[in-house]
Amino acid sequence: MATTHRSRVLIIGSGPAGYSAAIYAARANLEPIMVQGLEPGGQLTITTDVENYPGFADIVQGPWLMEQMAGQAQAVGTRLIHDIVVAADFSKRPFVCAGDSGDFYVGDTVIVCTGAQAKWLGLESEQRFMGFGVSACATCDGFFFRGKEVAVIGGGNTAVEEALYLTNHASRVTLVHRRDALRAEKILQDRLFRNDKIEILWDHVLAEIEGESDPPTVIGIAVRHVETDALQRIPLSGVFIAIGHRPNTELFAGQLTMDAEGYIQTMADSTTTNVPGVFAAGDVQDKVFRQAVTAAGTGCMGALEAEKFLAEAEMPRAAAAE
């Protein structure tokens, strides 16, 4: 039998944005409910070493960090529910969402924290070495490749920015692009071409990531020429896939205003969406920084803005979950 869960603040999705929103909302006595989604903890659950999240002198593991955030959110009063929101109605308040379980979730406000996913090439070896030399975030993992040779796969703004950033750490960066011209902005291309630590491999695609299994270690890549099919092997220590990200926003199409890439648009210096009472935080609305710490910051903002919205609307406290 379906159950209807009610809260003043409904949080869709987890990860640093969702858990931070939950912590702040719970401490404001708003008794938030979080529907955690398919992958509780988001992208950090598939991240091994995390060295750039404030508060930890030693490297921590992504899954452990998410477990700690979840535990903190629960400890201050958040109800965490293992379900996936499959439908949302933001046409009127209170907002109603349907879960894959058949349950319904009703919120006087909603904070969307469904995140984004890096686009991958789909290679088996890409998945095998993910977190062990394969990454989709140079800012997150570039530090681990100090003095080593790495490759960046892609040709747009993301790829060029990743390659430029990696020159701060790596001894050599090979940019592998399937075309004979980059799609990145001209100013970024100029910076790339001027950097003598970057080599561009035109008209090639990544065919295979090569490595050892015990322990998992990347030792090189095989690339294929798009016209001749000739294979070339390049010894290196890291591979950064930079072909873009995909925000998890299909669920909200036609209800929340998005940009051309599907990211939810929010007001400047705010998490407010085009629907009063619905807020968006984290990578679902941030395509620039995409860091755990910035996601946590916007999660905090979302909770504070939801609290203010409820206070100004003088909404009565929702009934406890049915």
Which one is catalytic: 83, 97, 103, 140? 140
Is the Cβ–Cβ distance between 307 and 26 less than 8 Å? no
Which one is catalytic: 97, 113, 137, 300? 137
141 is catalytic: yes
The residue type of 301 is: M
* Bridge partner list, 153: 176, 241
Ranges of H-type helices in 167-266: 186-194
> CB within 8 A of 226, min separation 6: which ones?
178, 203, 204, 205
d(CA 322, CA 268): 37
3-state SS class at 206: strand
Cis peptide before 247 (omega within 30 of 0): no
d(CA 54, CA 209): 32
140 is catalytic: yes
Is the Cβ–Cβ distance between 225 and 203 less than 8 Å? yes
d(CA 240, CA 143): 13
Cis peptide before 216 (omega within 30 of 0): no
108 is catalytic: no
Among residues 114, 104, 147, 134, the alpha carbon closest in space to that of 38 is found at: 114
Which one is catalytic: 141, 283, 286, 300? 141
3-state secondary structure 65-109: HHHHHHHHHHHCCCEEECCCEEEEECCCCCEEEEECCCCEEEEEE
Active site residues: 137, 140-141
